[in-house]
A = this chain, B = another copy of it.
Amino acid sequence: MGRDRFGWPVRRPGWEYRGVEIEEGGYRDLGWAKIDTGRPARTGTAEAVYAAGKTPEQVVGALAALREAHPGRVAVATRCDDACVAAVRGAFGDEVLVEAGVCAVGAFPEAESGLLAVVCAGTSDLPVAREAEIVARANGIDTRLIADVGVAGLHRLLDKIGELREAACVIVVAGMDGALPSVVAGLVAAPVVAVPTSVGYGAAFGGLAPLLTMLNSCSPGVTVVNIDNGFGAAVAASRILGVKADRS
């Protein structure tokens, strides 16, 4: 097979892709959006709808496309406001679970992975931890939430060492000083995914402080996601725990 002058094989992407097959196999074109229907096969988890900045109609439309493309999966929208939640509930009724701004549509699968512990430092970090928990469960992960074990009262955390060591992956959610992941990662052998939150004020700078703390963890092996990104931490855990990609 030859090359054209661009250095691409003659049957290069862009040619075949312009056929009708592409709508069937690669993505679904809604005009204002291109739902990436091949994502579960490629990456193990489906697209989710980032509801911020979308109309309720757009969120419902994208969720419907996801439900149709992957009937065996839970379709998820994050960062939904009240109007969006109402619209999703209106469209999908009893199928919808709402928690911490997440709308999850469809029956949750049986847990099919090792245990994921979602740990948070303070009660104000709970919404982010819950986002991670729901998304992880929607992806088929066995998840346990451990709340309010910040380092200011270390015995609360030490009390949970046993539970933490049972987990195959640990997500640690913390705002303010963001010190908890460093302590946890020194106590367990599992992968630790740290989520800084925007909890705090002043020199917390909207989560910059715990973000930097976590990036500079003195416990090696801590990895970090964006501020308040419980969703991303759950997807990272799904990759780590190897959830089934072929659930259609």
Contacts and interface: CB of A to CB of B under 8 A. Distances in A.
A25 interface: yes
B14 A160 contact: yes
A231 B220 CA distance: 8
Interface stretch (A80-88, A89-97, A102-110, A174-182): A174-182
A143 interface: no
A24 B155 CA distance: 13
A232 B226 contact: no
A162 B53 contact: no
B185 A153 contact: no
Contacts of A231: 220
A246 B5 CA distance: 9
Interface of A: 1-3, 5-9, 11-19, 21-22, 24-27, 31-34, 36-39, 41-45, 47-48, 50, 52-54, 58, 79, 121-124, 126, 147-156, 158-162, 176-179, 182-183, 185-193, 196, 198-229, 231-233, 235-236, 238-240, 242, 245-246
